[in-house]
Amino acid sequence: QLQDTYSRSGIACLTGEEMGDFIQNLDLIESKDRAADPCWQVKWHLGKLIKKMMLRSYEENVSAANAERALTLSSTEVQQPRGPITRIAAHLTGNNNRKNSLTTRNSSFRRGNGHKINNWESSRKGHSFLYNVELRNGELVIPQTGFYYIYSQTYFRFRENEDEDSHLLAQIRNPKQLVQYVYKLTNYPEPILLMKSARTSCWSKKAEYGLYSIYQGGVFQLKRDDRVFVSVSNSDIVDMDKEASFFGAFMV
């Protein structure tokens, strides 16, 4: 009977006050006598434990919800359909069948160094092509502002003519500076040099041909309607073979 009375007394200690209200008022200790009450101390420690567990559970649920929301947003961004990507590229090849591919130094090409290459093969014959780029008077017209990789190779080929006299051949065999220029045209009145590559040739007397090629390429920021072209020195020995002389650009 004594044990039963004690048990009911302990349960009454825990149920005598609404537990939710008690947990909210844990930090409000108004009386030293109440703080010294063993029953109140048990309820205080139990309330602290429950409050701590509830707080931890709340933080875990919030973190899980935020992580799930972030994952959902990320997945939505990845799966979001993108608009069509515009392909901008051009590869032009030389064409030996076209006459007057290069300008003369005294022609209307008044700006820049060398002889501008006017005529390129731009149709889909062989390896040449144009994608969303216009070719105008040997110049590639940039359709969209951005970064472009520009490249060019020029093939120089000299062949002796057996009918030439020895004095003239000696002059021809003298070392020559072979130069390739890549320019861009903007609203500025003069062309802007983007790249230049050069080498000095010395034709061998024993070789049937004197062959040299110059290649260069680089990334440049271009604006819409900028124009890019190639000019060379020693136009009389430039070989416009389609596999050896070419010019191109593509957006990166």
Among 209, 200, 194, CA closest to 233: 200
Q: How far apart are the first and last CA of the chain?
A: 91
Contact between 64 and 90 (Cβ < 8 Å) = no
At 77, the amino acid letter reads E
DSSP conformational letter for 100: -
- Residues making up the annotated binding site are 202
Structure tokens, 209:
């041909």
Contact between 132 and 143 (Cβ < 8 Å) = yes
Contact between 91 and 151 (Cβ < 8 Å) = no
- Residues making up the annotated binding site for Zn(2+) are 202
